[in-house]
DNA sequence: CGCGACGTTGATTTGCCTCAACGATTGTGG
DNA sequence: CCACAATCGTTGAGGCAAATCAACGTCGCG
């Protein structure tokens, strides 16, 4: 992957929602850094300030919190073409509640907060792009609440599996269990029943 | 409440995130309708297309879905100064999955979809305003996932109660139970234990 | 090779649901 | 203005989905 390819991945995604001419595209490039991320590397550690908004060009990330009982709770996955950040921390520049960690080697586009603010003044329609991104993310979480509360653990697993069969293969089972809201042991028992 | 007061409630909220001059404010007024909402009135019924984005000036609303077992599942409440809509349906103009209903008499500002699109071209910084709104809403739902999965039903209730003691008084208990993800009977038993 | 991370399996426990019956309150029509 | 129904909350008995705890197998990797 060249840096040009990486930029193209990002601008292609932006063009799903807004138009971008080549001048804007190269202006954008000045505000973005591309970064190779190693497996298990953290983009954000809770308690630290979230410095940037990350666009996943390649790879798979998890956003998770620490529970009182000391376990880790996954609240969100981020794969190709997703933006991921602790927006509360990014916005307020206060310590973050969540962690963001790579689950495999990957590449992200980094948009640091001051760069993002300046970029918005230069290319105001990027506000529109992010409005769409966040609107979709928010709508998706509301659907997720519906499924969490209306389905049993087994139903959630089978439903998620049917929606994202290839994604399930990419991540350890105990992480999927955490995301779906039950224990790894329980997931193992579901899978033992039949397939 | 006069129509001027209603407009002021909306523009005051917008000014928390963007600047608005009086010309823009009166331009905005051309694209908004204010509407009194009766108790139990629906702003949106599932299966219908979500025609507008609603800003709650006064009152309390619930957004809910129907589960396979025939019960209603509340995924979100909307009170004063919240925008509420089925954004998936609003964006795609496909039938909505969710319902939106008033839980008390209220007043909303209605921003219909064509009006919203035209308004964004006239006052582009409103894209920024909605980006902030959605960013906060999305961040709040991620925190909610953390609490759902890391706390017991009783802990969720006590925590929610301590955060929003006055809101809890405004709504029937069975709706709070639905939002928190357990049964009304269980909530009743929690309350019986101690205050 | 040996250790740590991950998955499996079984026994036991428990948080919460289901179902049913029963007050209390509200509102509505005669 | 009262009678009655509907809505909402409470309480209890019994049951089930999923957690907990513990032991063990396996694989990948340093």
DSSP characters for B154-166?
A: HHHHHHHHHH-HH
8 Å CB contact of A128 and B127: yes
d(CA B5, CA B11): 10
The answer to whether the beta carbons of residues A9 and A59 sit under 8 Å apart is no
Range of the domain at A23: 3-126
A93, pLDDT greater than 80:
yes
The answer to whether the beta carbons of residues B135 and B24 sit under 8 Å apart is no
Q: Return the CA Rg of chain B.
A: 18
Please give the pLDDT value at position A195: 58
Residue A97: closest CA among chain B residues belongs to which residue?
B143
How far, in Å, is the CA of B193 from the C1' of nucleotide D11?
Answer: 12
Please give the pLDDT value at position A109: 98
- Give the residue from B137, B177, B178 with the most A CB atoms within 10 Å of its CB, the best one to mutate: B137
Identify whether B151 is part of a domain. Answer: no
Identify whether B119 is part of a domain. Answer: yes
8 Å CB contact of B142 and A75: yes
The answer to whether the beta carbons of residues B28 and B115 sit under 8 Å apart is no
The answer to whether B174 contacts chain A (CB < 8 Å) is no
d(CA A120, CA A104): 31
Nearest to B134 among A76, A120, A138 (CB): A138
List, in sequence order, every residue forming a beta bridge with B72; answer none if it has no partner: B66
A87, pLDDT greater than 90:
yes
> In this structure, is the CB of residue A183 within 7 Å of any atom belonging to strand D?
yes
Identify whether B174 is part of a domain. Answer: no
Q: For residue B83, list chain A residues with Cβ-Cβ distance below 8 A.
A: none
Please give the pLDDT value at position A3: 79
Identify whether B166 is part of a domain. Answer: no
8 Å CB contact of B87 and A141: no
Identify whether A93 is part of a domain. Answer: yes
The answer to whether B185 contacts chain A (CB < 8 Å) is no
Instruction: Give per-residue pLDDT as tens, B15-50.
Output: 999 999 999 999 999 999 999 999 999 999 999 999
A52, pLDDT greater than 90:
yes
Identify whether B176 is part of a domain. Answer: no
Identify whether A106 is part of a domain. Answer: yes
> In this structure, is the CB of residue A114 within 7 Å of any atom belonging to strand D?
no
Which backbone phi and psi does B55 adopt, to 5 degrees?
A: -105, 120
The CATH number of residue A56's host domain is 2.60.120.10
B18 secondary structure, DSSP code: S
List, in sequence order, every residue forming a beta bridge with B109; answer none if it has no partner: B34, B55
Please give the pLDDT value at position B10: 98
Per-residue pLDDT of chain B (195 residues; tens, 9 = 90+): 687 899 999 999 999 999 999 999 999 999 999 999 999 999 999 999 999 999 999 999 999 999 998 899 999 999 999 999 999 999 999 999 999 999 999 999 999 999 999 999 999 999 999 999 999 999 999 999 999 999 999 999 999 999 999 999 999 999 999 999 999 999 999 999 875
Please give the pLDDT value at position B3: 79
d(CA A191, CA A187): 6
Mean pLDDT over the full length of chain A? 96
| Residue B4 exposure: Cα atoms within 13 Å on the Cβ side | 1
Which backbone phi and psi does A43 adopt, to 5 degrees?
A: -90, -25
B58-70 CB burial, b ≥16 within 10 A, e <16:
bbbbbbbbbeeee
The answer to whether B70 contacts chain A (CB < 8 Å) is no
Please give the pLDDT value at position A84: 98
Please give the pLDDT value at position A4: 86
DSSP string computed for A13-73 = HHTTTS---HHHHHHHHTT-EEEEE-TT-EEE-TTSB--EEEEEEESEEEEEEE-TTS-EE
Please give the pLDDT value at position A2: 81
Strands (E), chain B: 33-37, 42-44, 52-58, 60-66, 72-79, 83-84, 99-102, 106-112
3-state secondary structure A97-154: CCEEEECCCEEEEEEEHHHHHHHHHHCCHHHHHHHHHHHHHHHHHHHHHHHHHHCCHH
Please give the pLDDT value at position A193: 83
Domain count, chain A: 1
Identify whether A166 is part of a domain. Answer: no
């Amino acid at each position: 992957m060249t840096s040009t390819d990486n930029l193209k991945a990002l601008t292609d995604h932006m063009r799903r929602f807004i138009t971008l001419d080549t001048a804007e595209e190269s202006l954008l490039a000045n505000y973005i850094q591309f970064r190779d991320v190693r497996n298990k590397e953290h983009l954000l550690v809770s308690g630290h300030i979230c410095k940037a908004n990350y666009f996943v060009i390649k790879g798979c990330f998890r956003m998770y919190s620490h529970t009182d009982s000391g376990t880790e709770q996954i609240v969100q996955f981020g794969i190709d073409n997703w933006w991921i950040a602790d927006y509360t921390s990014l916005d307020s520049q206060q310590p973050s509640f969540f962690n963001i960690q790579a689950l495999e080697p990957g590449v992200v586009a980094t948009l640091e907060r001051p760069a993002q603010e300046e970029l918005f003044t230069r290319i105001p329609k990027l506000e529109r792009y992010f409005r769409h991104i966040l609107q979709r993310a928010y709508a998706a979480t509301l659907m997720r609440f519906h499924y969490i509360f209306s389905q049993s653990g087994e139903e959630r697993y089978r439903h998620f599996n049917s929606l994202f069969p290839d994604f399930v293969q990419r991540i350890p089972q105990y992480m999927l269990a955490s995301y779906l809201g039950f224990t790894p042991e329980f997931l193992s028992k579901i899978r033992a029943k039949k397939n």
